Amino acid sequence: MEQTKKRKLGISFENSKTPDSQSSKGHGREFTAIASVPIVLVLGNSMLVPILPDLQEKLGVSQFQSSLVISLFSVTAGLIIPISGYLSDRFSRKAIMIPSLIIYGAAGVLAGLGAVWNSYSILIIARAIQGLGAAGTAPIAMALAGDLFKGATESKVLGLTEASNGFGKVVSPILGSLLALIVWYAAFFAFPVFCLLSLLAVIFFLKEPAKEKQPPKLKPYLKSIGAILHEKGRWLITSFFAGSLALFVLFGVLFYLSDLLEKPPYLIDGVKKGFVLAIPLLGLVITSYTTGTLIKKNGTLMRWLMNIGLSLMTLSLGACILLHDKNLPLLIGLLTLSSVGTGLLLPCLNTMITGSVEREQRGMITSIYSSLRFLGVAMGPPLFSWMMDISHRIIFISVTSLCLIALAFVFFLVKPEGTIS
């Protein structure tokens, strides 16, 4: 009679089957190139948050129309990302990332011209084109990180990717506010400069490994993706939902806070507002980088951190229900605590999702995840704008309820156990 049974892990890491012989030392250029891509992507959205009230006034559009400048970019990216993911699996990561960065930067110039010409139509079309370019940037960089690195180094670089994403969110409101001191639409023309720097880093610093297998044709490829979702869908779909919700809350809260700061009694705008918006995001950056460095492939630690992160989000956002919106210091403190929870959650999700599939399907799986994250970002500003017209409390009742649901799903369905290696 068998005395012990082998315990089956809820999550296994396909690329952890190869021992981690790499060290993070000597990979500074690769880390820099990969980290530059999400920074550029975030600047494309977050840098515009402080100037939305100016855009609304100068172009004579409604609050909802100004929020579409953020949302349409994210919706377009979210819809195109799965196609970019397939193409990156079919051909190569850099073959998608390089033209995507070029499109992204060029459309930034067009958006700036639309603002100069006071043409909301040109501006919004340019933002949709930027979303098309954005679809082939950070999501593919995440898959490339999984191709280049294994084991603890992979989790560290994915944590760095999330931290650079957060760093972009920290500096972008400040940078957007500083650029607005020159002229309100200067932020649009700044995109091409950052895109160029990232483009050069990707071209010269990243050497993509050769494909070990012939890429499958579309039909067998989709069949293999379906098989992955059938086998691992319970925890994958839960992880997709949790990641999307985290970005929905983050961007929605930024939009809400940006609007609140400009109203009486605060009347905070410009660079000061940028610094205030950066406070919650700083908590996200520090926590994301620390989490990515610590988790390695430790499934038990990941499970603890994900549940703690979602609990922090639920409790801090729930406390905001009872908080009057005139108590700004306490509100910012609670929102910072929520961002810390997000910083605990996202690097764990990134590592699990990227490491759960073979290289041949990684582009599509990470792209589905990134697509849903983009749609979360897209829904944040318009839904928060709608809820802001109702009441302060309805905003936080809604997001607290969603975080509690996500916590329940993650607690019961996402169960990596032990040190997975």
Q: Is the dihedral of CA 335, 340, 346, 352 positive or negative?
A: negative
Pairwise CA distance, residues 83 & 330, whole Å: 43
Burial of 322 (0-12, 13-18, 19+ CB in 10 A): exposed
DSSP 210: P
Residue 285: what are its φ and ψ, rounded to 5°? -60, -55
Query: Where exactly are the structural domains of the chain?
Result: 27-205+214-413
DSSP 331-394: HHHHHHHHHHHHHHHHHHHHHHHHHTS-HHHHHHHHHHHHHHHHHHHHHHHHHHHHHHTT-HHH
What is the CATH code for 27-205+214-413? 1.20.1250.20
pLDDT tens, position by position, for the chain (421 residues)?
444 333 344 455 554 444 444 444 557 788 888 888 888 888 887 788 778 888 988 998 887 888 888 888 888 888 888 888 888 888 888 889 999 999 999 999 999 999 999 999 999 999 999 989 988 887 788 788 877 877 677 777 877 787 787 788 778 878 888 888 889 889 888 888 889 999 999 999 888 877 766 766 778 878 888 888 888 889 999 999 999 999 899 988 888 988 888 888 888 877 788 788 888 888 988 998 888 888 877 888 999 999 999 999 999 999 999 886 678 899 999 999 999 999 999 989 988 887 777 766 777 787 788 888 878 877 887 888 889 888 889 999 999 999 999 999 999 999 876 554 4
| This prediction's pTM | 0.78
Residue 419, helix vs strand vs coil: strand
DSSP 389: T
